[in-house]
């Protein structure tokens, strides 16, 4: 399926390493190489593929190895600046910081029903990551993801990439109000963050309940979806 998509689309096809390998660097590297080899057999060059990995410490180290081999990676399930800083060392091609899932967590834990776009925790998180990358001349593509409404999308206008659900794209296509660019790559001066070794990464993640809970939840859900897919394919093959 991925090879057929690669023959059709002008951009990249994102292909996920199984979520159950999110804490195993060695096996994730081997699996990613195997995926790229399978694409090659089907006529799809590695330049057309993004290997998708959860932004655990092990996933980030996997991306570091793969990027050094010319295999571009998408580090996903990114909820916190510590993850974004760690991703810079890996020189990942792309990161996917989430918006809506962050907002969901804060709504539940703060008893809120609504946030104005400028106060939205998910929007603020992605904006801070984008500004950090641009201020420090980091070439990694920042792709905002997981939107709950068009206000969140508008509040991140100018981000490198956005991944938007069809229903929200339909709403945007019918919205004829003026869209103002909010994010800009023209940042003045550097934005500093402490160096990110493994101990610092794990400690900072441990200190942020939202990031820890949403990363764990995301990995569990990805794994459940993978198991459902395996079951569906197996049923068709018997």
The residues assigned a catalytic role are 52
CA–CA separation, 132 and 124 (whole Å): 12
CA–CA separation, 197 and 89 (whole Å): 10
Tokens (6 digits) for 117: 């776009």
The edge-to-edge listing of strands for the beta sheet with 161-162 is 13-16, 49-54, 73-78, 94-97, 141-144, 161-162
Which phi-psi region, left, alpha or beta, contains residue 70 (left: φ > 0; alpha: ψ -120 to 50)? left
Answer yes or no: are the C-beta atoms of 19 and 58 closer than 8 Å: no
3-state percent helix, strand, coil for the chain, nearest multiple of 5: 55, 10, 30
CA distances from 20 to 4, 30, 159, 216, 225 (A): 26, 14, 30, 11, 11
* R_g of the chain, CA atoms, integer Å: 18
DSSP code of 140? Answer: P
Answer yes or no: are the C-beta atoms of 146 and 129 closer than 8 Å: no
């Amino acid at each position: 399926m991925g090879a057929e998509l690669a023959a059709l689309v002008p951009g990249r096809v994102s292909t996920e390493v199984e979520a159950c390998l999110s804490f195993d660097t060695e096996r994730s590297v081997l699996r990613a190489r195997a995926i790229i080899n399978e694409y090659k057999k089907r006529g799809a060059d590695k330049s057309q593929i993004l290997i998708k990995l959860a932004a655990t410490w092990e996933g980030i180290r996997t991306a570091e190895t793969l990027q050094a081999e010319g295999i571009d990676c998408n580090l996903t399930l990114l909820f916190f600046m510590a993850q974004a800083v760690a991703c810079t060392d890996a020189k990942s091609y792309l990161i996917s910081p989430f918006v809506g899932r962050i907002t969901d967590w804060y709504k539940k834990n703060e008893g809120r029903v609504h946030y104005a776009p400028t106060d939205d925790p998910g929007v603020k998180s992605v904006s801070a990551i984008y500004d950090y990358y641009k201020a420090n001349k980091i070439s990694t593509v920042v792709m905002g993801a997981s939107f709950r409404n068009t206000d969140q999308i508008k509040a991140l206008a100018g981000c490198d990439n956005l991944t938007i659900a069809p229903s929200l794209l339909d709403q945007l296509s019918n919205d004829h109000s003026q869209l103002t660019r909010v994010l800009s790559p023209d940042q003045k001066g550097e934005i500093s963050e402490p160096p990110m070794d493994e101990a610092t990464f794990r400690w900072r993640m441990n200190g942020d309940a939202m990031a820890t809970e949403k990363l764990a939840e995301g990995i569990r859900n990805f794994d459940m979806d993978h198991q459902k897919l395996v079951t569906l394919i197996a049923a068709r093959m018997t």
